[in-house]
Amino acid sequence: MSAHVTLPPLPHWEQAPVDLAAATRQVKRALRARIAACGRTVEEVFAVVEQRVRAEVDEIVAVRERGEAIWPVIDYADIEAGTVPDEARALLRRRGCLIVRGHVDHEQALSWDRELVDYVESNRFFENYAGPADDFFGSVGSRPEIYPVYWSPPQMQARQSDRTARVQAFLNRQWKHASAGVQWFDPDRDSLYPDRIRRRPPGTNSAGLGTHLDPGTLELWMTQDYQRAFRHLFDGTVEQYDPWDAAHRTTGPQYPGTTMCSVFRTFQGWTALSDMAHDQGVLHTVPIPAAMAYLMLRPLLADVPDDDMCGVTINQTFPVNDTWHPMLRPALSGIPDVRAGDSAWWHCDMIHSVAPVRDQRGWGNVMYIPAAPWCPRNEHYAASVRNAFLTGSSPSDFPAEHYERSWTNRFQLDDLNDTGRRGLGLD
Ligand SMILES: [Fe+2]
């Protein structure tokens, strides 16, 4: 793009538009016009992205065919000592996902798993459980796999632990968190995003979860902040698109919905509370951070109906599928075998899925703990998290089930350490 060209502005909707189809047509027309004004066609810009992503897909397939590991693995001890090898860091940034070995001591993780069982049983959770309250995980039957429990002592101890804080700070630093005189987030302060736990018992048959994205839906194209965050995709400078640039990611709104996440997460994550073999219905990713550019530009091609964003719509998870994105599937890669105490992390824009399993061997237990560094968006959400913590309520991003309000053995205010107090915005 030459500097003297003034690109036409984009229409934007800071709240979800009432007429989604009309807004989709309007923003797609404007995006195409904006890209055209820079002197390249949408097809040319998309071809650049496609080539970049295809090279990664081909590399991942080749690595797998050589029998080598796809997922980067780093020992917690190296993160704590500051001795992570440069090659390991480079692979983390290339793949956008990571297993941290020994994040938590193995015995500690197993003991947390037992404490979680004691916590829910002591509160007669299974007798009182009313069934899944959201449609996302609604297929699991009467005894849950996903427990709507947020405030147990093990979860809070893990969230506020020094070890978790070190891993989060390391991961946050893979992002560019300051630019143009703005600090977009604080890499050394996490907002303790409360999420649930999963305990999937031996013998489980599960259809898994299809490939999808978590960062949002139509707002990714339609709000001013996201249009700025993805500016290089929309102004013809796609070669400069950087999946690790946090500029404009940490300020804007999300469209409300049952699948929404109010906070900015550099990485999604969980900490394993049981050993899990790689073929027992585990997490998979398309480990290509730049695939986000492909997903964002794909709807602008001529074969997609004008009122369709390749199936993305509010109140539903962002789908990734063989109709629009068949090129990506060969790169879908599962985690290696993990032990209780290992943690798994994946870039917030990363395509992921959970594989199906029949007659699962062993347990499949995790605590969902992401990296959600302090920033305007997360500070805003922290106010409602504080209130949910103090009252034992379900956090506002999740169904209003509130099982723990009457559970007296939940984690208490006095149990917070400095990290916990800072994370909840109490200090
Ligand atoms: Fe997800």
Distance 213 CA to ligand 1 centre (A): 6
- CA-CA distances (angstroms) from residue 303 to 43, 111, 337? 11, 54, 41
Distance 136 CA to ligand 1 centre (A): 10
Distance 214 CA to ligand 1 centre (A): 5
Distance 349 CA to ligand 1 centre (A): 10
Q: Is the pLDDT of residue 308 over 70?
A: yes
Distance 415 CA to ligand 1 centre (A): 30
Distance 222 CA to ligand 1 centre (A): 21
Q: Residue type at 307?
A: D
Distance 154 CA to ligand 1 centre (A): 23
DSSP-assigned beta bridge partners for residue 146: 198
- pLDDT tens by residue, 17-33: 999 999 999 999 999 99
Distance 414 CA to ligand 1 centre (A): 33
Distance 279 CA to ligand 1 centre (A): 19
Q: What is the pLDDT of residue 61?
A: 98
Q: Is the pLDDT of residue 168 over 90?
A: yes
Assess contact for 48 and 238: CB atoms under 8 A.
Answer: yes
Distance 96 CA to ligand 1 centre (A): 15
Distance 215 CA to ligand 1 centre (A): 9
Q: What is the pLDDT of residue 140?
A: 43
Assess contact for 206 and 361: CB atoms under 8 A.
Answer: no
pLDDT cut 70: percent of the chain above it: 96
Distance 124 CA to ligand 1 centre (A): 29
Distance 212 CA to ligand 1 centre (A): 6
Mean per-residue pLDDT of the chain: 95
Could you give the CA distance from residue 230 to residue 220 in angstroms, rounded to a whole number? 8
Assess contact for 268 and 348: CB atoms under 8 A.
Answer: yes
Q: What is the pLDDT of residue 416?
A: 98
Q: What is the pLDDT of residue 12?
A: 98
Distance 346 CA to ligand 1 centre (A): 10
Looking at per-residue pLDDT, the higher value among 1 and 235 belongs to 235
- pLDDT tens by residue, 60-93: 999 999 999 999 999 999 999 999 999 999 999 9
Q: Provide the sign of the torsion angle of the four alpha carbons 415, 420, 425, 427, taken in this order.
A: positive
Distance 280 CA to ligand 1 centre (A): 18
pTM of the model: 0.96
Distance 34 CA to ligand 1 centre (A): 31
Distance 8 CA to ligand 1 centre (A): 34
